[in-house]
Amino acid sequence: MVTRTAAAAALVTCAALLAATGCSSNFDSGKDQAQDKAEKQKLTVLIATSGDAETQAVKAAAASYAKKSGNTVTVEVAKDMNQQLAQSFAGHKPPDVFYVNSDQFANYSKGGSLYAYGDQISDASDFSEQLLSSFSYGGKQMCLPKDTSTLGLAINSDLWKKAGLTEKDYPKTWKDLRSVADKLTANGVTGLVTSDEYQRLGVFMKQAGGWLTDADQKKMTADTPENAEGLAFVQSMLKSGSMKFAKQVDTSWGGEALGKGKAAMTIEGNWLDGGMKLDYPDVKYAVAPLPAGPKGEGTLAFSTCWGIAADSTHQAASVDLVKHLTSAEQQLAFADAFGVMPSRTSALKTYAEKTPQAKAWVDGSAYAQGPVTIAGFDKVLSQFNTDLQSLRTADPKKILADLQRNGEQAIAKGN
């Protein structure tokens, strides 16, 4: 075969030139990395930050660990996390500790880039079970959730009052939601505004008793009547005009719509708190639990985990650092600095006492659905999001059937 000959020729040329340039040392994998035995170790941490507050908080936490242990820790901020991590994995010079986004978690686990340190954490059971299962792969606990966020219904208090509603009218069911949204929609205000992605709209599928995959993430369960019911409800709200997507009202996310007074309600997570403080400090809002659907309450949980590189030469020290970063004390410090919720149950309790306004979000973590972590699923989910953009006019069943098909193909390819 011509291509094979060409490929072989290419390989020979590559090998020769690589050897000549001495780059070949970059490509040796498969064995356990020889560990650095030095007394003082140099660790690097790569994070994808949400803003200055988060960068400073992580740097302070790293500095306090450095002081305690005597190791040096350098915190770097990634501009494009996926790209930078992928490059460093390919070059086998990854940072020791890094954020692992839930949508990339399975790719990295499958590629063998993550060092599974879960069995070295004695008090792992203190972490949210849902998140732990999201961050396990092949029966191994790969990494610890850094923090957690859940979705709630954020309500603009002034607009709420203006429509003649009181706290008692916070919607408990879909029917309530529809009726308050109708009441609130007038004069350039839309009742409910949220992003056109499954990371928000998925709550309605969950409340209808469905979800994209089964609990083990082995099988697609997208084309179920439950999911269709959830999306059909969203569609009916969109058609009536009492619900709109953030882009339709010229905003990039629900928080912006809420802050600008274009939305009376939005579905957002606890990062909303920081965003509102920063951009719209004068806008008063309250957070209620999401209304329950036909199959009860449902919300989504998001998280990032602290990954340790399989190629790291400082694995023991890295585990030590992660233990420090995920300690209850540090998690509360992070919560204070940039508004994430602790992923430890014990710390979450303290957090709830300290921040009563976040009660709805904290309560949500008891029944929240964790993120989908299946290798090669990024494009499947982004295609689902693309399809959801046209949910107002499209057929929900067709969207779900496409998702089912694409997901099944990706699962088949991954295994």
Instruction: Give how many residues touch other proteins by CB under 8 A.
Output: 48
Nearer to other proteins, 217 or 406 (CB): 406
Residue ranges in 136-195 that form contacts with other proteins under rule CB under 8 A: none
DSSP string across 32-67: PPPPP--SS-EEEEEE--SSHHHHHHHHHHHHHHHH
Nearer to other proteins, 245 or 351 (CB): 245
What is the CB neighbour count within 10 angstroms for residue 218? 10
Distance of alpha carbon 369 from alpha carbon 43, whole angstroms = 34
Nearer to other proteins, 89 or 334 (CB): 89
- The site string for other proteins over 75-94 (x = CB under 8 A, - otherwise) reads -----x-xx--x--xx----
DSSP for residue 342: P
The answer to whether the CB of 220 falls within 8 A of the CB of 213 is yes
What is the CB neighbour count within 10 angstroms for residue 129? 10
Nearer to other proteins, 88 or 207 (CB): 88
Q: Which of 248, 313, 327, 404 binds other proteins (CB under 8 A)?
A: 248
Q: Which alpha helices (DSSP H) does 209-356 contain, by range? A: 225-240, 254-259, 271-279, 315-325, 328-338, 345-354
Smallest distance, other proteins to C-beta of residue 293, A = 27
Nearer to other proteins, 182 or 395 (CB): 395
Distance of alpha carbon 352 from alpha carbon 341, whole angstroms = 9
Q: Which of 97, 193, 410, 411 binds other proteins (CB under 8 A)?
A: 410
Q: Computed from CA positions of residues 308, 312, 316, 321, in that sequence, does the dihedral angle turn out positive or negative?
A: negative
Nearer to other proteins, 69 or 236 (CB): 236
- The site string for other proteins over 366-395 (x = CB under 8 A, - otherwise) reads ---------xx-xxx-xx--x--xx--x--
Strands (E), 195-311: 243-245, 263-269, 285-288, 299-302, 304-308
Segment contacting other proteins by CB under 8 A, of 67-75, 109-117, 319-327, 330-338 = 109-117
Q: Which of 2, 3, 5, 353 binds other proteins (CB under 8 A)?
A: 3
Question: Residue 38, interface with other proteins (CB under 8 A)?
Answer: no
Residue 307 exposure: Cα atoms within 13 Å on the Cβ side: 31
Smallest distance, other proteins to C-beta of residue 276, A = 21
Nearest to residue 71, comparing CAs of 49, 97, 99? Answer: 97
What is the CB neighbour count within 10 angstroms for residue 286? 15
Which residues in this chain contact other proteins in the complex, by CB under 8 A?
3, 6-7, 9-11, 13-15, 17-18, 21, 27-30, 80, 82-83, 86, 89-90, 103-104, 107-108, 110-113, 247-248, 250, 375-376, 378-380, 382-383, 386, 389-390, 393, 405-406, 409-410
